[in-house]
Amino acid sequence: MSSASPTSPAARLRGLRPDWLSDPKVWRVEVLGGLVVALALIPEAISFSIIAGVAPAVGLFASFTMAVVISVVGGRRAMISAATGAVALVIAPLNREHGFGYLVAAVILAGVFQIALGALGVAKLMRFIPRSVMVGFVNSLAILIFMAQVPEMRDVPWPVYPLLAGGLLLMVFLPRITTVVPAPLVSIVILTVITVAAGIAVPTVGDKGALPSSLPVPGLPDVPFTLDTLTTIAPYAFAMALVGLMESLMTAKLVDEITDTHSSKTRESIGQGVANIVTGFFGGMGGCAMIGQTMINVKVSGARTRLSTFLAGAFLMVLCIVFGPVVSDIPMAALVAVMVMVCFATFDWHSIAPKTLRRMPAGEITVMAVTVACVVASHNLAVGVVAGSVTAMVIFAKRVAHLAEVTATPAPDGSSVVYTVTGELFFASSNDLVGRFGYASDPDEVVIDLSAAHVWDASSVAALDAIETKYAQLGKSVEIVGLNDPSADLHRKLSGELASH
C-alpha cells in the first residue's frame, strides 16, 4: 500500500497533533521542564501562603489548579500560572479582617471580573505599554526574585554557602557538556543526595510548612450569599483581577519575544479568569502567571508546549502527596541556586551596558528607572508598570507638544496674514497656541492654515475658538483652512460649544 499523500486525512491529522506526541526529544524537554518547575513551585507557593495568611496547602492547591486549568484554556503556551506574591498581597487584608471564606469568594469573583475584562478587550491595552516599561518590568522582576532569595542566605548554617555555590557551578557548566537533562534538575537531585547522605543539617523544603497529603475537594465558599458579602469582596476581587491580568499579559508578551511566537492575549485573559474560578471552588488562594517559574520553563528548560504547564501542576501534587517525605528533604540552597540563575537569565544586562545608556534617549532611561524603582519599592509589578507607563506618556506628551509650530507669512500688500500651523494639536500643544498670534498688530484679514496639522481633542478646538474670539473683539476676521477630514469633523461638532459658563 502506498504511503499517505501530504494532503490525505491521515497527514492532516498528524499535522494537528502536538509536537510532543511525535517527537521524543520534545516530550523529554517538556516532561523534565514541568518537573523542575514543580520542584521550584513548592517553596514559592508555601511562602506566598504565609504572605496571604493561609495554610501552606492553600497555596499549593492554588498552584496545582491554576497550572492544570491554564494549560488547557490559556492563550500562551508554556507559560506557568500559580499562586503569586502579588495576588497574596492584594487578598491578605481580606483574609485577615473577614476570614478565609471571604478570600475564596473574592478569588471566584476575581475570575469573573477577568473573564469580563478579557471579553471587553482589555488585552488590547498592552499595545500602549512602551518597550522601556517592558525592560524595566523584566529587570525589576529579576531584582525581586533575587531579593526573595536573600532571606534564605542570611543567618543560615555555613554548609548552605558551598551547596549554593556548587548548585550554581553545576547549572553554569553542565549545559556545556549535555542538555539531555535540565541542569536545574540535576543540581537539585545532586545537592539533595549530598545533604541526605552526609547528614548535613541545612534548611529544607519541609521547614517551610507541611505538604498536603490528599487532593483538594471542590466546594462553595463558607460565606453568606448576600449583597453585603458582595460589597465586601468586590474591591479586593477587582484589584486582584487587574493585578493578575497585568502580570499575566506582561509575562505572555515577554514569552512571545523569547520564543518569537504570537499568543492570544484575549484568550489568556479569559483563561486566567476560568483558572481562578476553578481554583476558588477548590479552596485555593488564586493566582496569575509566574514570571520566575515561566523563565525556568521557557528559558532554562527550553519548554514550548502546554504539556510542560500541565505537568508542572500535576507533578506538584504528585510530589506533595506521593513523595512528600522526599521532597521535604530537598535543601533550600538547591532551589535558591535555581532562582538565582533565573535572575541572571531574566535580567536584561544589555539595557544597562554603558554603550547602550550613552545611545538611549534620556526619557527612555527615566521610564525604565521609574518602573524598576516603583516595583522594588512596592514589591508590586503592577504598580511599576502603571507608574512607568504614565511617566512614558508624560514624557511623550511633553516631547510632542513642542512639535507644534506657528509661522506667520504676511501678504506683500499688508492686507492679510497667513499663519501656518504645523504639528499635532492636543491638550499639551494647544495650551500655548493662543499666545502665538499677534492680534493687535495683525491686519484685518487672518488666515490660519492647518494643512500640516491635526486636531486631536476638544482642548485644541477650544484654543482655535479662543483665537477667533480675540480677533473678533478687535474687529478682525479669521478663516481656518486646510483641516483634514477627521479634524474638520471634530471642529464642526465642537466649535462654539466649549465656552465656559
User: What pLDDT does residue 2 have?
Assistant: 44
Tens-place pLDDT, residues 255-308: 998 888 999 999 999 999 999 999 999 999 999 998 888 988 998 888 999 999
Contact assessment for residue 40 and residue 296, using Cβ atoms and an 8 Å cutoff: yes
Cell numbers given for 147: 531579593
Average the pLDDT over 208-222 and give the result: 86
- pLDDT value at residue 21: 62
Query: pLDDT, tens digit, for every residue of 380-406?
Result: 777 888 899 899 888 887 777 666 788
- Whether 182 shows a pLDDT value over 80: the answer reads no
433 or 218: which leads in pLDDT? 218
Summary mean pLDDT of the chain: 86
d(CA 41, CA 59): 10
pLDDT at 13: 46
Residue-level pLDDT at 117: 93
**CA dist., res. 286 & res. 264, Å (int):** 22
In the chain, the percentage of residues whose pLDDT exceeds 90 is 38
Do 383 and 133 meet the contact criterion of CB atoms below 8 Å apart? no
Q: Does 379 or 407 have the greater pLDDT score?
A: 407
Q: Answer yes or no: is pLDDT of 500 > 80.
A: no
- Give 167-170 contacts, CB < 8 A, sequence gap 24+: 167/191, 167/333, 167/334, 167/336, 167/337, 167/338, 168/337, 168/340, 168/341
pLDDT of residue 88: 84
**Residue 320 predicted with pLDDT over 70:** yes
pLDDT in the model for residue 22: 63
pLDDT, tens digit (0-9, with 9 covering 90-100), for 68-111: 999 999 999 999 999 987 788 788 889 989 999 999 999 999 99
Best CA proximity match to 252, nearest among 89, 129, 119: 129
pLDDT of 3 reads: 47
End-to-end CA distance of the chain: 88
Give the pLDDT score at 412: 87
- E-strand ranges in 189-342 read 288-289
Looking at residue 10, what is its pLDDT? 52
Judged against a pLDDT cut of 60, whether residue 5 lies above it is answered with no
pLDDT greater than 50 at residue 483? yes
What residues have CB less than 8 Å from 75, skipping those under 6 apart?
Answer: 252, 263, 264, 265, 266, 267, 268, 269, 271
Report whether pLDDT(134) > 70.
Answer: yes
Confidence category of residue 53, pLDDT binned at 50, 70, 90: confident
For 339-352, what is the mean pLDDT?
Answer: 84
Q: Are strands 288-289 and 405-410 parallel, antiparallel or unpaired?
A: unpaired
Residue type, 498: L
472 within 8 A of 478, measured Cβ to Cβ: yes
Q: Give me 481's grid cell.
A: 483652512
| CA-based nearest residue to 88, from 247, 268, 312, 311 | 247
Check pLDDT > 70 for residue 7: no
**Nearest CA to 248 among 294, 314, 312?**
294
- Rounded to 5 degrees, what are φ and ψ at 125? -65, -15
Q: Which of 25-34, 158-167, 208-217, 433-442 has the highest mean pLDDT?
A: 158-167
Residue 472 in this model has a pLDDT that exceeds 80? yes
100-123 average pLDDT score: 94
pLDDT at 113: 96
Per DSSP, the chain holds a count of helices (H) and strands (E) of: 21, 6
Position 1 confidence tier, pLDDT thresholds 50, 70, 90: very low
